[in-house]
Structures are given as structure tokens and as C-alpha cells.
Amino acid sequence: MFKGIATEALKGYAVWEPILRTDDVRGARKATTILPDPRVRHYWIDGQEVGETFQAPLGLKGEPAWDVYLVYPPGIEWKGKSPPKPTYFMHQLAALPAARRLNSETLAAKLQKVLAK
């Protein structure tokens, strides 16, 4: 996805969190190889607190947010404790609308559209 969008105006933040029993920081380090773009910063949170923080902007209940992708256009700030609502998001969860299931081409197109504005 990042490979196809060659602009420094796009920043990515990958928050790796322990959802499955086998998830750990070593796994996170290994997983960074699937997102080897210098524009992406990688974080490891040893708990699900951040995933829970992102429940509200996604309208997610019952489980922490994970395998979700939130798009924010320029100018939006994160004020307060809760993150801002994204202008667009995609996911791989059963609890969120199926229409927003991850499709990398759709997500890339959405990002291109936001960047073009």
C-alpha cells in the first residue's frame, strides 16, 4: 500500500498489540518486515489499553480494536484522551460493518483521494 504511494505527505503508525496468546514484542519486531516503509513508525503496547482507546471512534464494542486501519486527513489533531474519529476506516473484524472489510486497493484509493485534496 505504501509502496504504491510515493509521497512524504503520508505517514503511518503501526501499533502492535497482544491479541493472540502468541503475540509478543519479538513477534512484533518480526512483523515489522511486512511494513518496511520508513514513513511507518512501529509501536509495541504490552496490553490492550490502546486497542480499547480506539473502540469509541470506530463504534466498536466488546473487543479491543485490532486489525483496523484508520485514515486521518491533514489538520486533524488528537486532543484529549480519546483519539479523533477517522474520516475513513477499514477492518478485519466480524463486529464491524462488512462493507468496510479490508481491501488494500480500496484503502489505497481512499488514501490517494485524501492526499489529492
Partner 1 sequence: MKDRATLVGSVVAAILASICCIGPLAFGLLGIGSIGFASALAPLRPWLIGATAFFLTAGFYLAYRPRALAACEDGVCRPADRRTQRVLLWMTSALAIALMTYPSWSGAFDLSRTAAGAGDEAAGPTVTLEISGMTCAACGPGIEQELLRVPGVVGARVDYATERAEVRLATTAADPGHLIAAVERAGYKASLTDERAAARASVSEGPPLAGQWRGQLVVGEGRTSELVVDLGLVANRWVGQFDLHDFGVEDYPVEVAFDGRSVTLHLTAAQIDFDGMLSVAGEAVAGMATSQGHRDSLVLKRAGEARFSAEFLALEKVAEDSARVEPLSADAAELRRRFNEDRASTRLVMLLSPT
CB 107 within 8 A of CB 69: yes
The residue within the footprint of partner 1, chosen from 41, 59, 101, 106 (CB under 8 A), is 41
Nearer to partner 1 by Cβ, of 13 and 103: the residue is 13
- Total interface residues for partner 1 by CB under 8 A: 61
The nearest distance, CB 57 to partner 1, in angstroms, is 10
Q: Is 27 in the site for partner 1 (CB under 8 A)?
A: yes
Q: Cβ-count burial of 59 within 10 angstroms (0-12 exposed, 13-18 middle, 19+ buried)?
A: exposed
